[in-house]
Structure 1
Amino acid sequence: MRSLERHRDVAAYALGVLDEAEAFRFEDHLMECPSCTAHVTEFGPATRQLMLYRRATPRAVHPMAKPGPRLLDRLLGEVAGRNRLRRRSLLYGLAASAAVALAAPGVAMMVADGDTAARRVAATDERSGVWAQVTAEDLPWGTQVELKVKDAAGPRACRLVAVGRDGSEQVLTNWTVAHHDARENTMMGAAAFHADEISRYEVRTSDGEHLVTVDAG
């Protein structure tokens, strides 16, 4: 497929409507196209809102039906939760870094704020050298996560996968590691799983190579 057509696949890839083969080819394209990588990240909020709409809407309701005030309340709740998550990340980032440095191979901690709680877990894989930290917050529509990764073995396209306690999997977010860049990268992602339905998180390359496992606790 021509490069221009690959660019046009950004929205379809971000919304998860490409088939497996097309998604694989597009991830190869992402490794060489910083513009598409940035656009995939920009589609994150829209993807989460569509997921929320899908879970909040009964199957019998026409997909183009006008959303009611209850959905608006949930969307506003998601925005508030996301802001709380960012504030917690700032306040507890130093404590989490110290805990990760002392723990081997992983550490888990609870972060509370008002009537919500987020669980933060981290691990380092001795073979790959990749470190990952996942902060997960359970919301009415599923789980919102903040992922932090250090990976100096780029360039390569990667993904965060949530593995359910029933063995099923969901891709939470995708990104491209820059060439030999060991700096910490932060991404937001979301799953239809609720937090207590997730067994572990796995960071993998686009071709399936395992980089690190973070137990959900």
Structure 2
Amino acid sequence: MRPSLEHTDLGAYVVGALSDEETEAFEAHLMECAQCQRELKAFAPLPDLLDQVDERPRPRLDDDVVLTGLLERVAADRRRRRRTWVVAAAAALVLIIAGPLLVLGSLPSDPWPDRSTTLTATKGEVWAKLAVDGKPWGTEVRLELGGITGPLSCELRAVTRTGVTRPLMDWAVPQYGYGVPSQPKPLVASGMTALRREEIARFEVRTSDGRDLVILEP
């Protein structure tokens, strides 16, 4: 027992906050200290002991037998409180450690894999650059198209490895065109499809009358 804390340790003793070594030392001190015995009587009516103490005649703390009985009731209460605290702390620790593991375990190992590729192609004066991003929901594309004049109506479509064709977007090319001396800026447009990246064999930029302007393949 720390000599300077003998009396002030009484509250910690009653609620079970002392270690086993500190508890034994304090109880040895308590049997010899009249002041701590008087204070123990005041601490006895804490939660769960109030009814027991109030329904019984008040003990004479100078009687070793009565003091021993009171110590046994306090010790039983301390043990119950300590078990409750240990269980609660263990449960909290399990939640802290297992919680992130459960969340991580429910997710795919790589929910957003890096599946971005860039395809380029040129046919005559027409050129195209297509950024292809595989997503969990399908495929997203970003097209840059130049070397083309209008008026034209065009579309970008995806062709699967089984020959299925899916339109991704369409647009109109004005007479002045895109990516040409009169209009240096290329056409920039974005589209998407539910097709997975690995299902697509190629992308085609075509006119509305079925003429291929450029084909982009991996």
TM-score, normalised with respect to structure 1: 0.44
Q: Which has the higher contact order (CA 8 A, sep 6+)?
A: 1
Larger radius of gyration: 2
Q: Which of the two has greater strand per residue?
A: 1
